[in-house]
Amino acid sequence: MIQRIQTVYLALLVISLGLAFVFPFSTFPIPGGSLTLDAFGVSKDIPSVSIWFPYYVVLAMSMGLGIFTISQFKKRKKQLQLGKLNYIIILISLVFIFVDSDRIAGGVGAMESDISYGVGMFSPVVALVFQFLANRGIKADEKLIKSMDRLR
C-alpha cells in the first residue's frame, strides 16, 4: 500500500538527494576567492583541479530509483531489490564525493581546517539512512504478509 511508512522514508530520500543539487558539497579557499564542489562539478576552471565522476547523473538516477521504488508498492520483493541497488549507488557516490573532495583539497593546497563542508555533502548520508529505514519497513511488511498467509 502506498500509505506505508516506507513511502514516507523514500519520499524523504528523494528530497534529501534533491538538496544535493541545491547546496555545495564543499568549499575550498583559493587565492582570490573560493572554489566550490557541487553536483555539477567545480565552480572555477583550475588546471590542477578536475573531477571525473558525474555526480548529477548518479544523484538523479538515485532519485529516480527512489521514485520508481515508491511506485512498486504492490511488489515488496522488487522494492527490496531496488532498495539494495539504490543503497549501493548512494554508497558509491558518497565514496567518490569524499575522494574528489580530498583530491581537490590537495590540488589547491588547502588545509583540512580551511575546508568548509556544505549541506550537499551530508544529504547523501541522510538519504542512506532513509533508504535503510525504508528497507526495514518493507521487510516488516513482508514479514507481516507471510504471517497472515500462515494463518489462512
The better pLDDT of the pair 34, 135 is held by: 135
pLDDT tens digits for range 77-106: 898 999 999 999 999 999 988 888 888 887
The answer to whether 79 and 130 are in contact (CB under 8 A) is no
Q: What is the mean pLDDT of residues 137-149?
A: 83
Q: What is the pLDDT of residue 131?
A: 94
**Which residues in 116-133 are b (16+ Cβ under 10 Å) and which e?**
eebebbbbbebbbebbeb
- Could you give the residue ranges of the DSSP H alpha helices within 5-118? 5-22, 55-71, 76-108
Q: Residue 11 above 60 pLDDT?
A: yes
What mean pLDDT do residues 12-38 have? Answer: 88
Residue 52 class from Cβ within 10 Å (0-12 exposed, 13-18 middle, 19+ buried)? exposed
Q: Identify the weakest region by mean pLDDT among 19-23, 65-69, 123-127, 140-144.
A: 140-144
For residues 6-19, average pLDDT: 92
pTM: 0.84
Q: How many helices (H) and strands (E) does the chain have?
A: 4, 4
Mean pLDDT of the chain: 85
Structural domains in the chain plus CATH codes: 5-151 (1.20.140)
Query: CB under 8 Å to 36, separation ≥6 — which residues?
Result: 24, 26, 27, 28, 42, 43
For 37-68, what is each residue's pLDDT tens digit?
888 877 776 655 667 778 888 999 999 999 99
